[in-house]
Amino acid sequence: MRPISRGGYRLVAVLAGVALLTAAGAGCARQDPGGGDESGGSEVSGSSTAHSAPTQDTGDAVVDDEPRDDLTGQQVVEWTDYEVVSERELRFHFPTGTPDCYGSRTAVEEDDSGIRVATIVGLVPGAPENCALVGRTASIVVTTETPVGDRTVEHLEVADEDLP
């Protein structure tokens, strides 16, 4: 087990706070697998695209995190729920810290029967030495290789030690 890095303790504190807030206000995970055909393949990637979509509650736009490949001190954070955005896009919600300190990316594996996704957060380059202990629920969109169809969507198990 590697030691918690600079920002690691802050991230743990922020995530604990967000987890408590999420648990207090969260309902069941949305699991509406869209339509489409099923075909195979397996891929691990960090690719997804930033999207904006109106929310159903307030009409305000949701701004998804832009996936990053330059994070340090990365940690896997379990997503709390997801929604089907389109035939090949899923939006995942997860706890993290402020965007000036923390960024995110995903790891994805998919095959004929399921889509497994890990949400990963870490410090962005140039993050302040003292990041505010403010948590937020972020979202990121994953584009699948094939239509979601009736495949199951599950957490991808990735150990923090296996992250670059």
pLDDT in tens, 42-62: 333 443 434 444 444 555 677
Residues 96 and 77: beta-carbon distance below 8 Å: yes
Contact between residue 131 and residue 97 where contact means Cβ atoms under 8 Å apart: yes
Does 1 reside within a domain?
no
Whether 98 is covered by a domain: the verdict is yes
Asked if residue 3 is part of any domain, the answer here is no
Tell me what pLDDT residue 161 has: 84
Domain ranges, residue 141:
8-162
Neighbours of 154 (CB within 10 A): 11
Task: Return the CA Rg of the chain.
Answer: 16
pLDDT band at 34 (very low <50, low <70, confident <90, very high): very low
Strands 102-110 and 114-123: antiparallel
In a domain, 107, yes or no: yes
Determine, yes or no, domain membership for 48.
yes
Residue 131 vs residue 77, higher pLDDT: 77
pLDDT at 47: 39
- Tell whether the model's pLDDT for residue 30 goes beyond 70: no
- pLDDT for residue 29 is more than 60: no
Instruction: Report if residue 2 sits inside a domain.
Output: no
Decide if 77 contacts 116 (C-beta within 8 A).
no
- What is the domain count for the chain? 1
Q: Are the C-beta atoms of residues 32 and 83 closer than 8 Å to each other?
A: yes
pTM surpassing 0.85?
no
Among the ranges given (80-89, 110-119, 124-133), the one the predictor scored with the smallest mean pLDDT: 124-133
Query: Which pairs from 14-19 meet CB under 8 Å and 24+ separation?
Result: 14/95, 14/96, 14/97, 14/102, 14/133, 14/134, 14/135, 15/77, 15/95, 15/96, 15/97, 15/135, 17/133, 17/135, 18/95, 18/96, 18/135, 18/136, 18/137, 19/95
Cα separation of 127 and 163, whole Å? 19
What are the structure tokens assigned to 44, written together?
């691990």
